[in-house]
Chains A and B, each alone.
Chain A
């Protein structure tokens, strides 16, 4: 993985007020993913767990993009102390997206197995709102959708970045998703910084190793293997399928 050497924070003030706005078509965006580990804890077991483990789990991902293609992969280590929870599935995903051909190739570790999922990109129906939030110096518009029939997703996107991408499999907005909130999974993704250029087109290539499958088959596998899990199964399936 390439190290980020120089980071240019693209602030609005840095741009000339009169000239044409510069649009970004290639670069690297760092996302901070935070998951609340306590949210789903219940009962006496909960108090015990809360003592032994931090409230939040933080991970960093880099989203490297060039025109129509991108690769989303784990980035720098977080300083969080390791959690005593056994890991939720599919946290260190590598996702390759080609927005032109609508191709999606992802490598996900689900418990003991590593899958290579080849499928088409997610087609979400986005509802555009009139609310805004500033993320990493970009004025981002709020959009919402519902995935997998029941999970409400909020995304903040900026039209100053040309690519229609986002963390994981999220895409399809008129610009880059800089923030993502999935309340049901107690997880948020927010862009922390962006480096323009310094991208080698060759670096943006699909992951290769792993057991080949597609989303439908993966879902079947997850469903059958987690039948006896009860309530926990659903959130684990969702986490793996996003």
Chain B
């Protein structure tokens, strides 16, 4: 019987084996620098999901190979040849497909002493992706991902957890390719353990459509993807931390429970210190929404500004916050990754006490005047965020992706402040005292649907997407203000009081759809056609009331009230040509778009229409020198539409000495943008080099025009200004000094820009030059010490055409030292010092130098140092200052604000995990 059963099974499967047509992979191997065609190189096909060996062959005398009788599926192609770097690529085989990988270049390892044991490659570049193997870098046990990132060449992490990679800020952190707690990257970098990470991949994430069509639409997000180790995908791990001393506390907890494709994670943070990393994304999370819509002909980018150019800053990111933050993450894949779902929920509550002084030098033709402002603000903010994604792969050719994001929040502010204006001779011109309270609710909801289909002919694809973004906010504010205006003898000659109630109701809705079709012209070249339709609708209702005789706010102030509707509809159609080759990659094309604007002022019963035709050209070029070096350059044109605040004809008197007026005649601005980037790594020498540049020319830039009225009040209007441009260059060089454990990095940065505005009716052009550089050095000895040094000098020069009086140039320097040392008895001591030195400028006479010194002492317990007790002290010298300096075309501003000074914490940190199974396959004897 036993023998019959296998025979039956064989018979049963036989027909299937015949019908299931097998696939073939072939290619040819060459040396990247010489004409050698490596023979006998091993070409292995590994199963993508667990890297088990499926099949292997050796290349023939001419470097050619062919692997046949393969099932469809996802594989890794691994090509090895003695003394050459491994080549690894990911491929997807369809049924009965013959996949030709064409020429594959292998690169010789440096002529090192071959007897050296070569550990696993620490770094690889594949296309646009730079990949680091986490285990190749020295990190302490229980280090988190942020500690790991600090060790990687070309990456910097600042004190707030902000990451810069290859000269650009990282905007997204993914875990295994998925969103992890939506927009707060520090949740991942500060709470995930470094030893759970297998690979760190850095790339420019393109939009979903670009990824699908292969045609770059210029939307890129610098992204880090953390690939988890297999054993981290099977088990749980997490961190508990609690610290307190005196009135300060900082507690956090995170747990991750992963099982194969299923990920569950939760975290909670409660803190009254600045160690929570809340600063990063909060401009978007908490800022009063002021959506900025950019359009490059075929796609719309919506970004949010904290405040417009002329807006009154609300001390955000400053002061002393107390916060609670908690979140849940879930993701899973089913049916052989056919279904992929991902969900995140985050709750956030923050109370901030802030206060500060602002000194402003305002530029006038041949004179200046000064403004001094003091403010105390207490704010409470609350927000719930829910986001999710569902992806369905119907078959190998079509897929559907649904994403949704929603948030709801409340924000309350109480503020009081004083402002005074002084003439150049330091005489008081006016002053005001104000109090205000506001209570606002805001919500937004975004959805998108993307359907994609690959047609029979290779390279022929179709995709259709729908997007919606809706946001609304309503607020109720009370403001009370008393202004005094002085004559030349410093006597009050006029007084103005305001006591008003303001109701503000804003909503913004963008609905759009886009269809894209690609047609192959040859194996390497394609044409893309696209058509899109977008409608943007904004409605704002502002009602301002004065008090009536009974003391009720019931008298509507017409000049400060409005009911305004602003909408525009854009049709756009375009063609792009795309050429894709191993080494060369280029595309060019353009879109023609029509935008019809309509403004309806229901309050004043007027309507205004305008219509634009725009041409949006674009081009990109990429050259790949070899696996470790590439160059790319691209160009595109884009428009930016005025926001509803900028366009409606209404006065904003939130600050009665600084009135802002909208301009219904405002036109859209048009920008031409160029970007380039060169990247080169030397793996064995451990060196890297990158160089980037950008240039931007803007027509009709939305800027400001201000006049000083007879009472010394500033009245600003939005206007279009021509002739603005900016150029930027950045670079980085880093290397490990041979035979030492020292790495050094140098990164210069230069920006030159020109921007214009109008002052008292006269055009003013400001030229800004910013030069900076960063020199950093690190050395470490595993399990003994780590030491880092950085120096970052910066130079700023600003010159306004209108004024011979105003002109600013100054240097600022940042020197920082950090180190830690392992003491006996499992103790560790560490410290860091920042020297912030800022040259005084003629406009102000305040010393703003700060030496910020922090230190800690830590004792480790248990196996693998799972438990740590840490005593830390922040700002030992107790001299920290909140400080910022801003140079604008019309003003130079210095701000001092309340910030954290000396405090100590005693913290207990517990890291836990279970080492799951190895995930190795089982084989019967």
Q: Is the CB of A123 within 8 A of B117?
A: no
Residue of B nearest to A140 (CB): B117
Q: Is the CB of B923 within 8 A of A146?
A: yes
From A15-23, A52-60, A73-81, A101-109, give the one contacting chain B: A15-23
Q: Is the CB of A130 within 8 A of B120?
A: yes
A175 to B56, CA, bound (A): 10
Q: Which of B42, B44, B46, B117 contacts A132, CB < 8 Å?
A: B117
Q: Mark B101-129, 1 if CB is under 8 A from A, else 0.
A: 00000000001011101111100000000
Say whether, besides A21-B82, A132-B120, A241 and B920 are in contact (CB < 8 Å).
Answer: no
For the complex formed, measure the closest distance between the CB of B329 and the CB atoms of chain A, giving whole angstroms: 29
In this assembly, does B502 line the interface, its C-beta being within 8 Å of a C-beta of chain A?
no
- Chain B residues whose CB sits within 8 angstroms of the CB of A149 once the complex forms: 922-925
Q: Mark B60-86, 1 if CB is under 8 A from A, else 0.
A: 000000000000000000101111001
- Chain B residues whose CB sits within 8 angstroms of the CB of A21 once the complex forms: 38, 40, 81-83
A241 to B923, CA, bound (A): 14
- Chain B residues whose CB sits within 8 angstroms of the CB of A125 once the complex forms: 52-53, 921, 923
Q: Is the CB of A174 within 8 A of B83?
A: no
- Chain A residues whose CB sits within 8 angstroms of the CB of B36 once the complex forms: 20
For the complex formed, measure the closest distance between the CB of A127 and the CB atoms of chain B, giving whole angstroms: 5
In this assembly, does B762 line the interface, its C-beta being within 8 Å of a C-beta of chain A?
no
For the complex formed, measure the closest distance between the CB of A130 and the CB atoms of chain B, giving whole angstroms: 4
A185 to B247, CA, bound (A): 59
For the complex formed, measure the closest distance between the CB of A109 and the CB atoms of chain B, giving whole angstroms: 20
A17 to B113, CA, bound (A): 10
Q: Is the CB of B53 within 8 A of A148?
A: no
Say whether, besides A128-B51, A132-B117, A159-B80, A146 and B922 are in contact (CB < 8 Å).
Answer: yes
Q: Mark A96-128, 1 if CB is under 8 A from B, else 0.
A: 000000000000000000000000001111111
Q: Mark A1-45, 1 if CB is under 8 A from B, else 0.
A: 000000000011101010011010000000000000000000000
A159 to B44, CA, bound (A): 11
- Chain A residues whose CB sits within 8 angstroms of the CB of B121 once the complex forms: 130
Say whether, besides A130-B121, A143-B53, A159-B81, A23 and B923 are in contact (CB < 8 Å).
Answer: no
In this assembly, does A215 line the interface, its C-beta being within 8 Å of a C-beta of chain B?
yes
A234 to B523, CA, bound (A): 58
A173 to B923, CA, bound (A): 15
- Chain B residues whose CB sits within 8 angstroms of the CB of A160 once the complex forms: 82
Count of chain B residues near A, Cβ 8 A:
37
A149 to B924, CA, bound (A): 5
For the complex formed, measure the closest distance between the CB of B25 and the CB atoms of chain A, giving whole angstroms: 15
A123 to B111, CA, bound (A): 38
Q: Is the CB of B921 within 8 A of A146?
A: yes
Q: Is the CB of A159 within 8 A of B42?
A: yes
Q: Which of B113, B118, B925 contacts A139, CB < 8 Å?
A: B118
- Chain A residues whose CB sits within 8 angstroms of the CB of B783 once the complex forms: none
Count of chain A residues near B, Cβ 8 A:
43
- Chain B residues whose CB sits within 8 angstroms of the CB of A23 once the complex forms: 40
In this assembly, does B571 line the interface, its C-beta being within 8 Å of a C-beta of chain A?
no
Q: Mark B407-430, 1 if CB is under 8 A from A, else 0.
A: 000000000000000000000000
- Chain B residues whose CB sits within 8 angstroms of the CB of A175 once the complex forms: 42
For the complex formed, measure the closest distance between the CB of A186 and the CB atoms of chain B, giving whole angstroms: 19
- Chain B residues whose CB sits within 8 angstroms of the CB of A128 once the complex forms: 44, 46, 51-53, 78
Q: Mark A146-170, 1 if CB is under 8 A from B, else 0.
A: 1111101000000110100000000
Q: Is the CB of A152 within 8 A of B920?
A: yes
Say whether, besides A133-B117, A160-B82, A127 and B923 are in contact (CB < 8 Å).
Answer: no
In this assembly, does B558 line the interface, its C-beta being within 8 Å of a C-beta of chain A?
no
In this assembly, does A172 line the interface, its C-beta being within 8 Å of a C-beta of chain B?
yes
Say whether, besides A134-B117, A145-B920, A174 and B42 are in contact (CB < 8 Å).
Answer: yes
- Chain B residues whose CB sits within 8 angstroms of the CB of A173 once the complex forms: 53
- Chain B residues whose CB sits within 8 angstroms of the CB of A225 once the complex forms: none
Q: Is the CB of A13 within 8 A of B921?
A: no
Q: Which of A11, A127, A141, A147 contacts B52, CB < 8 Å?
A: A127
Say whether, besides A20-B39, A145-B920, A146-B922, A126 and B113 are in contact (CB < 8 Å).
Answer: no
In this assembly, does A129 line the interface, its C-beta being within 8 Å of a C-beta of chain B?
yes
A225 to B523, CA, bound (A): 66
Say whether, besides A125-B921, A145-B921, A159 and B82 are in contact (CB < 8 Å).
Answer: yes
A189 to B329, CA, bound (A): 46
Say whether, besides A21-B82, A125-B923, A159-B80, A12 and B114 are in contact (CB < 8 Å).
Answer: yes
A59 to B342, CA, bound (A): 56
- Chain B residues whose CB sits within 8 angstroms of the CB of A241 once the complex forms: 925
For the complex formed, measure the closest distance between the CB of A133 and the CB atoms of chain B, giving whole angstroms: 7
Q: Is the CB of A174 within 8 A of B53?
A: yes
Q: Is the CB of A215 within 8 A of B925?
A: yes
Q: Is the CB of B51 within 8 A of A129?
A: yes
Residue of B nearest to A25 (CB): B40
Residue of A nearest to B133 (CB): A130
Q: Is the CB of B53 within 8 A of A126?
A: yes
Q: Which residues of chain B (911-925) have a CB below 8 Å from chain A?
A: 918, 920-925
In this assembly, does B58 line the interface, its C-beta being within 8 Å of a C-beta of chain A?
yes
In this assembly, does B100 line the interface, its C-beta being within 8 Å of a C-beta of chain A?
no
In this assembly, does B281 line the interface, its C-beta being within 8 Å of a C-beta of chain A?
no
For the complex formed, measure the closest distance between the CB of B70 and the CB atoms of chain A, giving whole angstroms: 16
- Chain A residues whose CB sits within 8 angstroms of the CB of B921 once the complex forms: 125, 127, 145-146
For the complex formed, measure the closest distance between the CB of A115 and the CB atoms of chain B, giving whole angstroms: 16
In this assembly, does B583 line the interface, its C-beta being within 8 Å of a C-beta of chain A?
no
For the complex formed, measure the closest distance between the CB of A236 and the CB atoms of chain B, giving whole angstroms: 15
A173 to B46, CA, bound (A): 12
Say whether, besides A21-B81, A139-B117, A215-B925, A127 and B40 are in contact (CB < 8 Å).
Answer: no
For the complex formed, measure the closest distance between the CB of B228 and the CB atoms of chain A, giving whole angstroms: 15
- Chain B residues whose CB sits within 8 angstroms of the CB of A188 once the complex forms: none
In this assembly, does B50 line the interface, its C-beta being within 8 Å of a C-beta of chain A?
yes
Instruction: Count chain B CB atoms within 10 A of each CB in A125, A143, A162, A215 and give the residue with the most.
Output: A125
A150 to B133, CA, bound (A): 29
Q: Is the CB of B925 within 8 A of A20?
A: no
Q: Is the CB of A127 within 8 A of B51?
A: yes
For the complex formed, measure the closest distance between the CB of A137 and the CB atoms of chain B, giving whole angstroms: 8
In this assembly, does A131 line the interface, its C-beta being within 8 Å of a C-beta of chain B?
yes
For the complex formed, measure the closest distance between the CB of B59 and the CB atoms of chain A, giving whole angstroms: 11
In this assembly, does A144 line the interface, its C-beta being within 8 Å of a C-beta of chain B?
yes
Residue of B nearest to A122 (CB): B925
Residue of B nearest to A11 (CB): B115
- Chain A residues whose CB sits within 8 angstroms of the CB of B86 once the complex forms: 130
Residue of B nearest to A23 (CB): B40
A207 to B546, CA, bound (A): 109
Say whether, besides A144-B920, A149-B922, A20 and B38 are in contact (CB < 8 Å).
Answer: yes
Q: Is the CB of B925 within 8 A of A147?
A: yes
A145 to B924, CA, bound (A): 10
Q: Which residues of chain B (131-150) have a CB below 8 Å from chain A?
A: 133
A17 to B111, CA, bound (A): 7
Q: Is the CB of A123 within 8 A of B82?
A: no
Q: Is the CB of A162 within 8 A of B117?
A: no
A230 to B111, CA, bound (A): 56
- Chain A residues whose CB sits within 8 angstroms of the CB of B58 once the complex forms: 162, 174
Q: Which residues of chain B (321-344) have a CB below 8 Å from chain A?
A: none
- Chain B residues whose CB sits within 8 angstroms of the CB of A123 once the complex forms: 923
A122 to B44, CA, bound (A): 19
Residue of A nearest to B39 (CB): A20
Write the residues of chain B forming the contact surface with A, with a CB cutoff of 8 angstroms: 36, 38-42, 44, 46, 50-53, 56, 58, 78, 80-83, 86, 111, 113-115, 117-121, 133, 918, 920-925
A-B pairs, top 9 by smallest CB distance, nearest first, are: A12-B114, A174-B56, A174-B42, A130-B120, A126-B53, A159-B42, A148-B925, A21-B82, A23-B40
28 chain-A/chain-B pairs, Cβ below 8 angstroms: A11-B115, A17-B83, A21-B38, A21-B40, A21-B82, A21-B83, A126-B52, A127-B51, A127-B921, A128-B53, A130-B120, A131-B119, A132-B117, A134-B115, A137-B115, A141-B80, A144-B920, A145-B921, A149-B922, A149-B923, A149-B924, A149-B925, A150-B922, A159-B41, A162-B40, A173-B53, A174-B42, A174-B56
- Sample of 8 further A-B pairs with CB below 8 A, known A130-B120, A152-B918, A174-B42: A21-B38, A23-B40, A128-B53, A130-B133, A148-B924, A149-B924, A159-B40, A215-B925
